[in-house]
Chains A and B, each alone.
Chain A
Amino acid sequence: MFQKTLVWLFISLNTIVFAQKTYQVKGVVLDAITHQPLEGVYIIGDNLHAVTSVTGEFSINGVLEGTYNFKISHISCKHKDITVIVGPDMPLIKILLDESDNKLDEIQLVGKTKKRIIKETPTVTELVSKDFLVKNRENSLMQTLSKIPGVSTIKIGSGQSKPVIRGLGFNRVVVVQNGVKHEAQQWGSDHGLEIDQYGIENIKIIKGAASLVYGSDAIAGVVDIEPNKVPLENSFKGEVNLLAESNNDLLGISLGLQKRKEKLFYRTRLTFRDYADYKVPTEKINYDNYIFTLHDHNLRNTAGTEANANFSVGYISNNVISETFISNVYAKNGFFANAHGLEVRISSIDYDASNRDIDLPYHTVNHFKVINNTSIIFNNHTLLFDIGFQNNKREEYTEPTSHGYMPKPSNTKERDFHKKTFSLNIKDTFKPNGNHIIVAGINTEYQDNNIAGWGFLIPAYNRFTIGGFAFDTFKINSDFHLLAGIRYDYGVIESKAYNDWFQSSVDNEDGSTSLIYLQRSQNKTLDFGNISASVGISYINNKTTYKANIGKSFRMPLANELASNGVNYHMYRYEKGNINLEPEESYQLDLDISHQFKNSSIGVSPFANYFENYIYLNPTSNYFQTQQIYEYTQAKVVRFGGELRATTTIFENLQLNASTEYVYSRQTSGPKKDFTLPFSPPFSTLLSANYQFNDFRFLKEPQISADFRITADQNEIVPPEEVTSGYQVLNMSFLATIAAFNKSTPLQLKLKLNNVFDTKYYNHTSFYRLIDVPEAGRNISIALTQTF
């Protein structure tokens, strides 16, 4: 946070001749270090003024020929006066602004423009910058974000994880990328999020009920990966990232390029990562009464590989910005070989021959996306269109074996999930005057889900949803904002019939038995309608910001929750859907109070939440074909908790941070009354310290940081979970820049030491926790980033 930021102000001024011989003064302002456009820079002259937009651009129309003085000011820079001669053939003017004297103030102020917007938004929102992502980058995007209080992950293996916000995940958290909801197999716990974490500049995280804007599923929160800012005119920029890790012998490379002429711009990013089995700080794993001896601490067959490609082309003019993104994310990951799901397996495969190969069981995931974002600005309106197509395919391969009445299958393809999603969002932002911002829009989505393979988990289904919403942000005064809105959604789910491919023995009423192909799901068409609403206020009183938001959100039941009916041998259970499930409805109250002291800040964000009918896979006492029956039921659930965060600067170069998160959940009705919810995250605190040294020889801006996570026991469990003990883990990192190739774009170096003491601990929300596999051991990683 203390790094010197050299702020360049680059203004290209050009003119367009009008009939009345007036000219348009156009320009753009950017930060030279981060190459991010600077928003909120004031360009003030005699009766002329402009403020730079999100893209850093500004224009002043109707300027007559002559000489003008402009004052250029930005809160993080020293003011500067410039003189511009407006007329035909104006020269291009470049202005270099000096940074402010106090580095600390400058950083705080740079952040404030963005922070100010967040402060004025009544929803409890967290902005994640590229800087945070670079400094905290872990093996997957969600692991990186789990440093944010209130955000955690459900993960499997070293590189795959799904978002959890305040204890809720899967289909209760929406991930949005470039304006379109990411649609994959969110319901499954044994794979991760198909998004390349390189090249992301801004993420907005909403902790709380957000169906109003994001529709069904945004019941617990949203991870909104925003489109990157448009590159500057006549610019070309590139970035190479290299990464190596010791724990799983990972090698990664990512290359990003972007270019803009005048109106057309292009961006591309290619990422490739390959890693071996990861190491755990134990020689053997005790699961139930089984003992698996590990070879060289390697968690057998957890190697993986990932290849991603993104390309986009965009067009920008005064009134229109349009960008089309094409991306493909591919991953192949092995699963721990000694247990498949909960089932202990023996294989003749020599897993220990190499720690880099991927044997059975493994899966492949491919996610292809085409998205177009187009925004049109006219009068006081900004009209935004998001059109998307996504094709998600996940295939799981296992050594076949017989189970129950199922004979040994002839091939290794156990599961195949194939989802195609078409999305169309239209949104209009209307600013009738300075006090209101009215947003109205519709979201539509059509999904076509197909299944294949010999294992049945979820039926094939089609789903169509449409929702309309409107909300108003009312500026009561500059420090007091009110947001209120309402939404209605309608959805249809059409689940498809599925019969076993093998016969099972069934007892008839007359005492005889017959062999039949059991039906696991039926042809059913169900429709749902639901209202969401939200009201919130934000009040800024000098250095204190208060927020309060109350909202109602909902989630449509999934096809497996409604219609599944079969044995999941993976988890040793018989899963029974319930066709009578109602859409989940949740009411949530969020508060957020933050205060800025001279050298420190403190914030607290408590919440209270009530689910009318939380959908939950309840383990019953009964059996079907010797498998315990788990039945989808709905229960009332009360949850509350929150996060505390504090930051202080002891002296100029030392910064301390502390954050704490806590969630309490309780089912207040139904068969598991008084129990918590599955995968409840434990009480956890993160303490971190960051110290910046003076430049040392070739190392510029060297800084060292330490993160110490203290997590309490998780004794709040629900069958079939196990209690998980608390733990403490220390991570260290060292960052510096080296002027290796170019002084203005130095090489960025990051050394990281995760799990310094090679502590053996269990993560309550890890899929492998179920089979008593501890978290990864010590890891040393080196990351290099060179921009050009």
Chain B
Amino acid sequence: MKTIKLGFIASLMLLLVASCSSEDDNEKDLQKPTISLNYDAGFPKACEVLTKGETYHFKAQVTDNLELAAYSIDIHNNFDHHTHDDQEATCDLGTIKDPVNPFIFIENYSIDQGLTSYEINVSITIPNTIDTGDYHCSFSVTDVTGWQSVTSMDIKIVE
């Protein structure tokens, strides 16, 4: 009986130790970076209308508790209304149509080391040859740990 009891106690201890040691000694980064366009200079805002041939400064504020790493900007057509943005405003969408020569903007950028706060500022010229209509713009940002945040908005490109 003694050996049984000892065996059980030993196993119980092991399980207890197991459950207690889940409190980590090493600090882990469990926070995602943040991304915001909700300030005066933030651009484009939801339902923004952009004109062909013009150059715009796309601006967003990103922060992280530890260290920022990289960001990307993606503009693609929403002619089929396949998805919608995550902003509170609901924009009026044009009629559904097939793309002929849609605007595609796909770029990645890295952020200098050691920053916890940064303003994205990318100047983008809307080409003259592309299809007008409903577009989607999304910003994403990563931190050094590999956490990512994304935000997106509906925009419109006109003649």
Cβ-defined contact, B84 with A407, below 8 A: no
**Which residue of chain A has its CB nearest to the CB of B17?**
A640
**Which residue of chain B has its CB nearest to the CB of A674?**
B26
Over the window 324-357 of chain A, the binary record of Cβ atoms lying under 8 Å from chain B Cβ atoms (1 yes, 0 no) is 0000000000000000000111111000000000
Q: Would you call B57 an interface residue if the criterion is a C-beta within 8 Å of the partner chain's C-beta atoms?
A: no
Q: How far is the CB of B131 from chain A (nearest CB, A)?
A: 12
Given contacts A404-B76, A621-B143, A628-B140, contact A346 B82 (CB under 8 A): yes
Over the window 391-414 of chain A, the binary record of Cβ atoms lying under 8 Å from chain B Cβ atoms (1 yes, 0 no) is 000000001011111011000000
Q: Would you call B41 an interface residue if the criterion is a C-beta within 8 Å of the partner chain's C-beta atoms?
A: no
Given contacts A289-B86, A404-B76, contact A672 B18 (CB under 8 A): no
Cβ-defined contact, B74 with A683, below 8 A: no
- Tell me which of A344, A346, A621 contacts B69 (CB under 8 A): A621
Q: How far is the CB of A218 from chain B (nearest CB, A)?
A: 24
Q: Would you call B24 an interface residue if the criterion is a C-beta within 8 Å of the partner chain's C-beta atoms?
A: yes
Given contacts A346-B83, A620-B146, A621-B143, contact A664 B106 (CB under 8 A): no
Task: Please measure, in the bound complex, the distance between the C-alpha atom of A664 and the C-alpha atom of B23, giving whole angstroms.
Answer: 11
Cβ-defined contact, B146 with A719, below 8 A: yes
Number of interface residues of B (CB under 8 A): 50
Chain A residues whose CB sits within 8 angstroms of the CB of B70 once the complex forms: 621-623
- From 45 to 74 in chain A, residues with beta carbon under 8 angstroms from any chain B beta carbon are none
Chain A residues whose CB sits within 8 angstroms of the CB of B18 once the complex forms: 606, 640-642, 662, 664
Over the window 639-651 of chain A, the binary record of Cβ atoms lying under 8 Å from chain B Cβ atoms (1 yes, 0 no) is 0111010000000
Chain B residues whose CB sits within 8 angstroms of the CB of A505 once the complex forms: 104, 106
Chain A residues whose CB sits within 8 angstroms of the CB of B82 once the complex forms: 345-347, 399, 401
- Surface stretch bound by A, among B5-13, B48-56, B118-126: B5-13
Cβ-defined contact, B83 with A593, below 8 A: no
Task: Please measure, in the bound complex, the distance between the C-alpha atom of A619 and the C-alpha atom of B83, giving whole angstroms.
Answer: 25
Task: Please measure, in the bound complex, the distance between the C-alpha atom of A719 and the C-alpha atom of B150, giving whole angstroms.
Answer: 14
Chain B residues whose CB sits within 8 angstroms of the CB of A627 once the complex forms: 72
Task: Please measure, in the bound complex, the distance between the C-alpha atom of A591 and the C-alpha atom of B13, giving whole angstroms.
Answer: 14
Q: Would you call A602 an interface residue if the criterion is a C-beta within 8 Å of the partner chain's C-beta atoms?
A: yes
**Which residue of chain B has its CB nearest to the CB of A723?**
B30
Task: Please measure, in the bound complex, the distance between the C-alpha atom of A628 and the C-alpha atom of B139, giving whole angstroms.
Answer: 12
Chain B residues whose CB sits within 8 angstroms of the CB of A401 once the complex forms: 80, 82
Cβ-defined contact, B15 with A644, below 8 A: yes
Cβ-defined contact, B11 with A626, below 8 A: no
Cβ-defined contact, B11 with A720, below 8 A: no
Task: Please measure, in the bound complex, the distance between the C-alpha atom of A674 and the C-alpha atom of B47, giving whole angstroms.
Answer: 43
Chain A residues whose CB sits within 8 angstroms of the CB of B143 once the complex forms: 621
Task: Please measure, in the bound complex, the distance between the C-alpha atom of A626 and the C-alpha atom of B110, giving whole angstroms.
Answer: 12
Given contacts A402-B102, A544-B4, contact A623 B15 (CB under 8 A): no
Task: Please measure, in the bound complex, the distance between the C-alpha atom of A644 and the C-alpha atom of B102, giving whole angstroms.
Answer: 60
- From 50 to 83 in chain B, residues with beta carbon under 8 angstroms from any chain A beta carbon are 69-74, 76-77, 80-83
Cβ-defined contact, A593 with B145, below 8 A: no
Cβ-defined contact, B14 with A642, below 8 A: yes
Cβ-defined contact, B74 with A593, below 8 A: no
Chain A residues whose CB sits within 8 angstroms of the CB of B150 once the complex forms: 288, 572
Cβ-defined contact, A404 with B80, below 8 A: no
Chain B residues whose CB sits within 8 angstroms of the CB of A696 once the complex forms: none
- From 137 to 153 in chain B, residues with beta carbon under 8 angstroms from any chain A beta carbon are 138, 140, 142-148, 150-151
Q: Would you call B129 an interface residue if the criterion is a C-beta within 8 Å of the partner chain's C-beta atoms?
A: no
Q: Would you call A716 an interface residue if the criterion is a C-beta within 8 Å of the partner chain's C-beta atoms?
A: yes
Cβ-defined contact, B146 with A621, below 8 A: yes
- Tell me which of A343, A618, A626 contacts B83 (CB under 8 A): A343
Q: Would you call A782 an interface residue if the criterion is a C-beta within 8 Å of the partner chain's C-beta atoms?
A: no
Given contacts A290-B86, A345-B83, contact A717 B146 (CB under 8 A): no
Task: Please measure, in the bound complex, the distance between the C-alpha atom of A572 and the C-alpha atom of B26, giving whole angstroms.
Answer: 30
Chain B residues whose CB sits within 8 angstroms of the CB of A343 once the complex forms: 83
Task: Please measure, in the bound complex, the distance between the C-alpha atom of A662 and the C-alpha atom of B3, giving whole angstroms.
Answer: 24
**Which residue of chain B has its CB nearest to the CB of A623?**
B108
**Which residue of chain A has its CB nearest to the CB of B138?**
A626
Over the window 581-611 of chain A, the binary record of Cβ atoms lying under 8 Å from chain B Cβ atoms (1 yes, 0 no) is 0000000000101010000001010100000
Chain B residues whose CB sits within 8 angstroms of the CB of A672 once the complex forms: 146
Q: Would you call B21 an interface residue if the criterion is a C-beta within 8 Å of the partner chain's C-beta atoms?
A: yes
- From 82 to 109 in chain B, residues with beta carbon under 8 angstroms from any chain A beta carbon are 82-84, 86-87, 98-99, 102, 104, 106-108
**Which residue of chain A has its CB nearest to the CB of B71?**
A623
- Tell me which of A541, A618, A621, A716 contacts B22 (CB under 8 A): A716
Chain A residues whose CB sits within 8 angstroms of the CB of B72 once the complex forms: 623, 626-627
Task: Please measure, in the bound complex, the distance between the C-alpha atom of A626 and the C-alpha atom of B74, giving whole angstroms.
Answer: 6
- Tell me which of B7, B99, B104 contacts A408 (CB under 8 A): B99
Q: Would you call A675 an interface residue if the criterion is a C-beta within 8 Å of the partner chain's C-beta atoms?
A: yes
Q: How far is the CB of B143 from chain A (nearest CB, A)?
A: 7
Given contacts A641-B18, A674-B24, contact A591 B108 (CB under 8 A): no
Task: Please measure, in the bound complex, the distance between the C-alpha atom of A405 and the C-alpha atom of B143, giving whole angstroms.
Answer: 26
Cβ-defined contact, B107 with A719, below 8 A: no
Given contacts A619-B146, A644-B15, A672-B146, contact A404 B86 (CB under 8 A): no
Cβ-defined contact, B84 with A346, below 8 A: yes
Task: Please measure, in the bound complex, the distance between the C-alpha atom of A624 and the C-alpha atom of B110, giving whole angstroms.
Answer: 12
Chain B residues whose CB sits within 8 angstroms of the CB of A344 once the complex forms: 83-84
Cβ-defined contact, B15 with A606, below 8 A: yes
Task: Please measure, in the bound complex, the distance between the C-alpha atom of A619 and the C-alpha atom of B147, giving whole angstroms.
Answer: 8
Chain B residues whose CB sits within 8 angstroms of the CB of A675 once the complex forms: 28
Chain B residues whose CB sits within 8 angstroms of the CB of A620 once the complex forms: 142, 146
Chain A residues whose CB sits within 8 angstroms of the CB of B28 once the complex forms: 674-675
Q: How far is the CB of B153 from chain A (nearest CB, A)?
A: 11
Chain A residues whose CB sits within 8 angstroms of the CB of B8 once the complex forms: 593, 595, 602, 604
Q: How far is the CB of A531 from chain B (nearest CB, A)?
A: 29
Task: Please measure, in the bound complex, the distance between the C-alpha atom of A671 and the C-alpha atom of B147, giving whole angstroms.
Answer: 12
Cβ-defined contact, A288 with B86, below 8 A: yes
Task: Please measure, in the bound complex, the distance between the C-alpha atom of A79 and the C-alpha atom of B142, giving whole angstroms.
Answer: 74
- Tell me which of A345, A403, A591, A626 contacts B140 (CB under 8 A): A626
Chain B residues whose CB sits within 8 angstroms of the CB of A554 once the complex forms: none
Task: Please measure, in the bound complex, the distance between the C-alpha atom of A377 and the C-alpha atom of B76, giving whole angstroms.
Answer: 68
Chain B residues whose CB sits within 8 angstroms of the CB of A593 once the complex forms: 4, 7-8, 11
Task: Please measure, in the bound complex, the distance between the C-alpha atom of A602 and the C-alpha atom of B12, giving whole angstroms.
Answer: 12
- Tell me which of B21, B22, B106 contacts A405 (CB under 8 A): B106
Q: Would you call A625 an interface residue if the criterion is a C-beta within 8 Å of the partner chain's C-beta atoms?
A: yes
Cβ-defined contact, B142 with A623, below 8 A: yes
- Tell me which of A407, A604, A619 contacts B15 (CB under 8 A): A604
Task: Please measure, in the bound complex, the distance between the C-alpha atom of A353 and the C-alpha atom of B122, giving whole angstroms.
Answer: 45
Q: Would you call A546 an interface residue if the criterion is a C-beta within 8 Å of the partner chain's C-beta atoms?
A: yes
Cβ-defined contact, B147 with A720, below 8 A: yes
**Which residue of chain A has its CB nearest to the CB of B74?**
A626
Footprint of A on B, CB under 8 Å?
Answer: 3-4, 7-8, 11-12, 14-15, 18-19, 21-22, 24, 26, 28, 30, 69-74, 76-77, 80-84, 86-87, 98-99, 102, 104, 106-108, 110, 138, 140, 142-148, 150-151
Q: Name 16 A/B residue pairs within 8 A (Cβ), A-sorted.
A: A288-B150, A289-B151, A343-B83, A344-B84, A346-B83, A405-B104, A544-B4, A595-B8, A604-B11, A619-B147, A621-B142, A621-B143, A623-B72, A623-B140, A662-B18, A664-B21
Footprint of B on A, CB under 8 Å?
Answer: 288-290, 343-348, 399, 401-405, 407-408, 505, 541, 544, 546, 572, 591, 593, 595, 602, 604, 606, 618-628, 640-642, 644, 662, 664, 671-672, 674-675, 683, 716-717, 719-720, 723
What are the nearest 7 A-B pairs in CB distance? Answer: A621-B69, A289-B86, A623-B108, A626-B72, A619-B146, A626-B74, A604-B11
Beyond A626-B107, A628-B140, 11 extra complex contacts between A and B, CB < 8 Å = A289-B87, A401-B82, A572-B150, A591-B11, A593-B4, A622-B110, A626-B73, A626-B140, A628-B146, A640-B18, A716-B22
